[in-house]
Amino acid sequence: MKKYRDDERLLAIELSNEPGWKRSSRKFVEAMAKMLTHYRGSVPLTMGSTSLANNTDYLDWGLDILQFHYNFAQTPALFRRVLEQAALTKSRQGKQVWLSEWQRVRPGEGFFADVTGEARYPDYSSLAPLIHEANIGNFFWSLMLRPASELHFRRQGVVNGLFHEDGAVWNLDDARTIKAMSGDPEYDGTERKEYPDWMTEMEESTIPRTGPRPR
């Protein structure tokens, strides 16, 4: 904090990401919040959370920016409702609210529902227009193509992200709808809906191959 609290390169300082609510975790992050707010500078403080509701405690701890994650919405209507709640929270609390993880509309009951077919792949265009309309600060997950973080999804071939390492994109519609959030929807690039070779070659991988085998 002493080194970075006034660093103008930083948009914010994040205390923790999804700390959970086990007694030990809560005790730790609350103590860390006291330390960070004691040494606070000009850079706002925040914490990643799984829902807007978590931020009630974070406000009491003196954090400046509210974050929430909503990666997979069952329907656009449900997603729009959450965005409306975020806008209302922003107005009532007088603080910035960021949607700091989002990915796509995905059917299924619960976060860990099995995923098959096209639901395994990125579809930012299913949510980006709604976020743009709501005017909520946001960060999509993720810029570079990568296997899903959760092993449950990784084994089912779920991939996240936009760009291949060579600059091609998984989905041109996604690239254009994300760029349109800046006011300019024009994007010319190469689309390649293939798993990167390094992803299918991971040890004990059960991910189906979509592209040619490496030479």
The reply to whether the predicted model has a pTM over 0.85 is: yes
Alpha carbons 188 and 42: distance in angstroms, whole number: 39
Tokens 């980006």: give the residue.
128
Alpha carbons 6 and 15: distance in angstroms, whole number: 15
pLDDT at residue number 69: 95
pLDDT at residue number 203: 53
Q: What are the distances in angstroms from CA 208 to CA 118, 155, 159, 212? A: 13, 9, 11, 12
Tokens 């606070």: give the residue.
40
**C-alpha dihedral sign at 63, 64, 69, 74:** positive
- Beta pairing class for 72-73 and 104-105: parallel
- Say how many CA atoms lie within 13 Å of 166 toward its Cβ: 9
Per-residue pLDDT tens listing for the chain (215 residues): 999 999 999 999 999 999 877 888 889 999 999 999 999 999 999 999 988 888 888 889 999 999 999 999 999 999 999 999 999 999 999 999 999 999 999 987 777 778 888 999 999 999 999 999 999 999 999 999 999 988 888 888 899 999 999 999 999 999 999 999 999 999 999 999 999 888 876 655 566 655 544 43
The residues, any chain, with a CB within 8 Å of residue 122's CB and separated by 6 or more, are 103, 104, 159, 160, 161, 162, 170, 171, 174
Which residues are bridge partners to 105 per DSSP? Answer: 73
Alpha helices in 6-75 (DSSP H): 23-38, 55-60
pLDDT at residue number 206: 62
154: which 2 tokens?
């990784």
Is residue 188 within a helix (H) or strand (E), and if so which, with residue range? none
Tokens 């098959």: give the residue.
116
- The gap from C-alpha 109 to its chain's centroid, in whole angstroms, comes to 20
